[in-house]
Chains A and B, each alone.
Chain A
């Protein structure tokens, strides 16, 4: 295969071609201020990302902001710090296109994960009143599911707040959690002793 280039004299350089530059001079000889600007920008974006959590943003706004700031930071790091903005398109394409295939994998796994989740709800008796009521009295009583009516248990108290389960003695949960049943591959399969907490779908924010 022969090189398909336009044989033009250097003076007649068109906009479609690059100007000739010796390799050494080209290497990273950009004004240092551009790195300082991007550096500052990364700090700003990180602060914004942190504030999303600090101000307890929830739902779609939370996810879009998290993803947006993440992608912006990634773009700046790859383009400026890793010099990609100045590389030839052949290298850019060879490096950045394969990870796009990962987006396909991500989509497929999201689809499957969601299916597995609904499958578990459909076929395992989870979070039903029957299930909770049948928990033996000797075991530590189940904690109140978020938003659902309080189960039979006397503990915990009137504050059936979502944070209450976590605020309680972790030692209570440790014995239950340490049971082998929690380790099984189909780890969600409940047994009579296995205390179920409010199912947390990722969609509940």
Chain B
């Protein structure tokens, strides 16, 4: 009930919006986030911390690339694949991007169906999301294998500045790890959805013991969209730049 607050007169008191609402929400003697449950708020806060982690990696990548006098390797050449003798730059990365965007789309639809209490559709869409995520990790693993085979190491590589390898492996490794964890969690929650664990009012929640609801799908969705969001930044700043 994000727009309403109880009052002593019995009449419904409405929460102010806009900047006034910010001060009202934060200044109240209740929870600060009126439109989000504790689960959603905590996931958002976790994502902020994860943003800082990835930003540390990306900013340090920027720093080493700026400061080196050795030429930085060209991602469009390194990540090109050959088809019928023709080298297509960044094609695998483009496929990986489309794969993650597709998974974000299926996730958003899963959240929607979850709130509509269409359990099976929500679970199947979550499984589809997990599938696309697993495919992404597979493609990333293939990319790693290919580069390692070509001599890219965290301390050196045959293409240019020595820091390229460590930046690449750290950034994509952390991101791939996040995707993998997301896939596992998606499978777990999809199973629960399928079994009807979140059906209100019979079953109780996983962490809280309170009566369950489908918001857990939305919270999972927040994590998954974050993973896609990080890839948007990695794709732009590391592969394209």
Contacts and interface: CB of A to CB of B under 8 A. Distances in A.
A associates with B: yes
Interface of A: 1-10, 13, 16-24, 26-30, 32, 35-36, 38-39, 42-43, 46, 49-50, 52-54, 63, 66-67, 69-70, 73-74, 77-78, 80-83, 86-91, 93-95, 98-99, 102, 105-106, 109-110, 112-114, 116-117, 120-121, 124, 126-127, 166, 170, 173-174, 177-178, 182-183, 187-188, 196-202
Nearest to B35: A88
A91 B104 CA distance: 22
Contact of A35 (B13, B18, B30, B109): B109
Interface in B62-95: 62-72, 74, 76-77, 89-90, 94
B89 to A, nearest CB: 6
Nearest to B74: A166
Interface stretch (B136-144, B167-175, B184-192, B224-232): B224-232
Interface of B: 1-5, 7, 9, 11-30, 32-37, 41, 44-45, 47-48, 51-52, 55, 59-60, 62-72, 74, 76-77, 89-90, 94, 97-98, 101, 104-105, 107-109, 111-112, 114-116, 150-151, 155-163, 213-215, 218, 221-222, 225-226, 228-229, 232-233, 235-237, 240-241
B72 A17 contact: no
Given A28-B112, A89-B22, A117-B66, A17 B48 contact: no
A82 B28 CA distance: 26
Given A3-B24, A20-B3, A66-B241, A183 B98 contact: no
A5 B7 contact: yes
- Looking at chain A's contact residues, the main secondary structure is helix
Contacts of A43: 98, 101
B67 A196 contact: no
Contact of A98 (B48, B162, B228): B48
Given A53-B240, A66-B236, A5 B2 contact: no
A196 B16 CA distance: 63
26 contacts: A3-B5, A3-B28, A6-B16, A13-B14, A17-B17, A18-B3, A18-B15, A26-B2, A27-B214, A38-B108, A49-B235, A50-B94, A54-B90, A66-B236, A77-B104, A82-B225, A82-B226, A88-B25, A88-B33, A90-B33, A91-B44, A99-B55, A187-B162, A196-B70, A202-B72, A202-B241
A63 B236 CA distance: 9
A69 B98 CA distance: 15
Contact of A53 (B76, B107, B109): B76
Shortest beta-carbon contacts, A-B, top 5: A113-B66, A200-B71, A18-B3, A17-B14, A90-B25
Given A90-B21, A188-B69, A81 B55 contact: no
Contacts of A38: 108
Contact of A90 (B26, B151, B155): B26
A90 B5 contact: no
Contact of A121 (B62, B69, B97): B69
Task: Find the residue from B59, B107, B155, B222 having the highest chain A CB count within 10 A.
Answer: B59
B71 A74 contact: no
Nearest to A117: B67
Given A87-B35, A106-B62, A18 B17 contact: yes
A173 B158 contact: yes
A6 B225 contact: no
Nearest to A168: B158
Contacts of A67: 236
Contacts of B9: 7
Contacts of B41: 91
Given A46-B94, A70-B237, A81-B104, 5 more contacts: A6-B13, A170-B151, A196-B70, A199-B71, A200-B70
Contacts of B62: 106, 109-110, 113
A8 B13 contact: yes
A59 B9 CA distance: 65
Given A74-B229, A106-B59, A10 B14 contact: yes
